[in-house]
Chains A and B, each alone.
Chain A
């Protein structure tokens, strides 16, 4: 469960202050699948960075699983990202010189987990890549690369999957396959937040939060 309360974010460009978020308040319940949509410049990315604990809000409160995140320091935020959040990016962001398996193991290395190999194999299997674990990203198709990235996001059992345009680099058919995986994960109880500008993709989610000019236009009851 995550809870945003009157979140603002102001960027300083020299003397002028540019507000990116102007008082965002919303709740996303555990097990929900939500999409965040909006035109470019609406504050989508900023909001996603704050939800993903990559950035701190200028003011407001953000609770993730009951933890007051807005008060944590860099190292604590890194730990939250590692344990509670799984990132999926538009451009996959896999390490090109390492195998699918090693890519999936990466978050486990930073959390210091044991039997990493076993756990990584398990999630790779769950996204349908059991046969491709020793391949490098360059030897995999786009959809397969994104599945590796989803496996990497899942490997630490996060409370939230945060996907930023996860189908932006994929063709329609592959996009549907990837969305099916998200749908299935959600049915198994995973909280998923999707940032997208494609209505087709947003249609997969139960709720759509529309942003405009740093404020929520609709989607919050």
Chain B
């Protein structure tokens, strides 16, 4: 029997029982669609994370107090402005230091008001170290810092909420009841995971001078985070060591005592986040894989039913000259075709899911470009056909081994 005839025989049998064939394919279809969308969304997400870290810069180090909540807002910090100055002066591998203090306050401008907005007190170095780009106006200057000017730089979301499409530069606003003037607006960080777009930045000196003790902290010079820029990405590690040494001495920590601060470099944070996302993706793909397995069991089940139903047909085929190989191939091709068609439709469904997710994510403000990779498609098709073949093997062997005489007598 020619191979092409095996195919047309198998296809005819599948067409002969359309509803059953489609239902059987459904198992594989859902599995493949799930695997494909998980893989595609996962790689899109990885790209976003990578991009976010790239905007932060690779030679950036964050120094944060130990045991503090997210961003260190509101709680008493172990870090001070003097710590930051000491790092700037005494650490040879350090290029720039930007301390930051944060608190919550109400911000009012015109008729709009924002309660519980994060107010960040920063130094002029912050523009370079934290890699801020200006959309409008200018960042906090040395003069502003020295003079404790009441100027504010707005994150893009804050500016949009308070001033709409209007250029806020030069406008006045009230922060915690005090009058400030807008000196500039930051470029949106967009998809990043930070809160840059939601913050209002004022000079750190002004921050200490104008806000209440409960907001600033009792010492009057606490900072919630110190951003440190190493001289180069090669010097990140030595800078981390220098910072640790300086702070341990300044905080009077004895040998064996734990640090009361944390030093993080962005490269290792990026690696950790990527690793966590990778594991997450693997788990999701595993779950999707289980549905493929269930689909495979569905195929085997239907093929076994199909063999039992067609015992007479198999007997007749053998009587008129079908060899074992012909019967085996017929049923194997049927099973593989179920897998292949299910896989093909699954790719289509996966593609639709990915497209819908992309549109939803784009509307929600993420630059999300999920695409179906050729690898994922090849993998899905390969897996779908293999599942079909493996599930079909046992039923096909059973069919091929049937005795023609008994099969013909079968009712």
Q: Measured between C-beta atoms, what is the minimum distance from A100 to chain B in Å?
A: 15
Q: Are the CB atoms of B321 and A152 closer together than 8 Å?
A: no
Q: A82–B405 contact, CB under 8 A?
A: no
Residue of chain A at shortest CB distance from B2: A112
User: Is B405 a contact partner of A93 (Cβ separation < 8 A)?
Assistant: no
Q: Does B308 contact A (CB under 8 A)?
A: no
Interfacial chain B residues near A52, Cβ < 8 Å: 319
With A55-B405, A93-B408 as given contacts, are A110 and B320 in contact (CB-CB < 8 Å)? yes
Q: Please name all residues of chain A whose beta carbon is closer than 8 Å to the beta carbon of B22 when the two chains form the complex.
A: none
Contacting chain B: which of A23-31, A71-79, A168-176, A213-221? A71-79
Which residue in chain A gives the minimum CB-CB distance to B313? A95
Whether A109 pairs with B323 at a CB distance below 8 angstroms is no
Smallest Cβ distance from A111 to chain B, in angstroms?
6
| B residues 310-326 touching A (CB-CB < 8 Å) | 312-313, 315-326
A181 to chain B, nearest CB (A): 19
Find out whether the CB atom of B324 lies under 8 angstroms from the CB atom of A82: no
Q: Is the CB of A81 within 8 A of B319?
A: yes
Q: Which residue of B lies closest to A92 (CB)?
A: B316
Indicate whether A157 reaches chain B with its CB closer than 8 angstroms: no
Given contacts A49-B405, A89-B408, contact A74 B323 (CB under 8 A): yes
CB pair A152–B320 under 8 Å, yes or no, is: yes
Q: Compute how far the CA of A95 lies from the CA of B322 in the bound complex, rounded to whole angstroms.
A: 14
Query: B382 → chain A, closest Cβ, in Å?
Result: 30
The listed residue (B16, B319, B323) touching A75 by CB distance below 8 A is B323
B 85-102 to A, binary, CB cutoff 8 A, 1 in contact else 0: 000000000000000000
Confirm or deny: B9 has a beta carbon within 8 angstroms of a beta carbon on chain A. Answer: yes
Chain B residues positioned under 8 Å from A55 (CB to CB): 405
Q: How many A-B residue pairs have CB under 8 A?
A: 61
Taking a contact as CB atoms closer than 8 A, the residue among A54, A89, A97, A106 that contacts B317 in the complex is A106
- In the bound complex, CA of A97 to CA of B5 (Å): 17
Contacts of B364 in A (CB 8 A): none
A54 x B1 contact (CB < 8 A) = no
Contact call B320/A107, Cβ cutoff below 8 A: yes
Distance in Å: Cβ of B327 to nearest Cβ of chain A? 10
A109 touches B5 (CB 8 A): yes
Does A126 sit within 8 A of B, measured CB to CB?
A: no
Shortest Cβ distance from A130 into chain B, in angstroms?
Answer: 22
Chain B contacts of A40 at CB under 8 A?
none
The complex places the Cα of A52 from the Cα of B321 at a distance, in Å, of: 11
Chain A residues closer than 8 Å to B408, beta-carbon distance: 89, 93
Shortest distance between the CB of B311 and any CB in chain A (Å): 12
State the Cβ distance, A204 to closest chain B Cβ, in Å: 24
Neighbouring A residues of B339 by C-beta, 8 Å = none
Q: Please tell me if A138 contacts chain B, counting CB pairs below 8 Å.
A: no
Interface flags, B370-411, vs A, CB<8A=1, else 0: 000000000000000000000000000000000011001000
Contact indicator B316/A95 (Cβ below 8 Å): yes
Cβ proximity bits B302-314 to A, threshold 8 Å, 1 near / 0 not: 0000000000110
B20: Cβ under 8 A from any A Cβ? no
| Interface status of A98 (Cβ within 8 A of chain B) | yes
Residues of chain A with a CB closer than 8 A to B322's CB: 78, 110
B178 at the interface (CB under 8 A from A): no
Beta-carbon contact of A78 and B321 below 8 Å? yes
Beta-carbon contact of A110 and B319 below 8 Å: no
In the complex, B12 has a CB within 8 A of chain A:
yes
Given A93-B312, A98-B12, also A78-B318 (CB < 8 A):
yes
* CB nearest neighbor in A for B12: A98
CA distance in complex: A106, B316 (Å): 10
- B2 proximity list for chain A (CB < 8 A): 109, 112
- Residues 41-76 of A contacting B (Cβ, < 8 Å): 49, 52, 54-55, 74-75
B12: which A residues are within 8 A, CB to CB?
97-98, 102
Question: What are the residues of chain A within 8 A of B319 when measuring CB–CB?
Answer: 52, 54, 81, 87, 93
> A147: CB under 8 A from chain B?
no
Q: A78-B318, A82-B321, A93-B316 are in contact. Are A110 and B404 (CB under 8 A)?
A: no
Q: Which of B262-319 touch A at CB < 8 Å?
A: 312-313, 315-319
* 29 pairs, CB–CB < 8 Å, chain A vs chain B: A52-B319, A55-B405, A74-B324, A75-B323, A75-B324, A75-B325, A78-B321, A78-B322, A79-B321, A81-B320, A81-B321, A83-B321, A93-B315, A93-B319, A93-B408, A97-B16, A102-B12, A106-B317, A107-B320, A107-B321, A109-B1, A110-B317, A110-B321, A110-B322, A110-B326, A111-B321, A112-B1, A152-B320, A156-B321
Besides A102-B12, A156-B321, 19 other CB < 8 A contacts?
A49-B405, A54-B404, A74-B324, A75-B325, A78-B318, A78-B321, A78-B323, A81-B320, A82-B320, A83-B321, A93-B312, A93-B408, A97-B13, A98-B12, A107-B320, A109-B9, A110-B322, A110-B326, A111-B321
Q: Which 7 A-B pairs have the closest CB atoms?
A: A82-B321, A97-B16, A110-B321, A78-B323, A93-B316, A107-B320, A109-B5
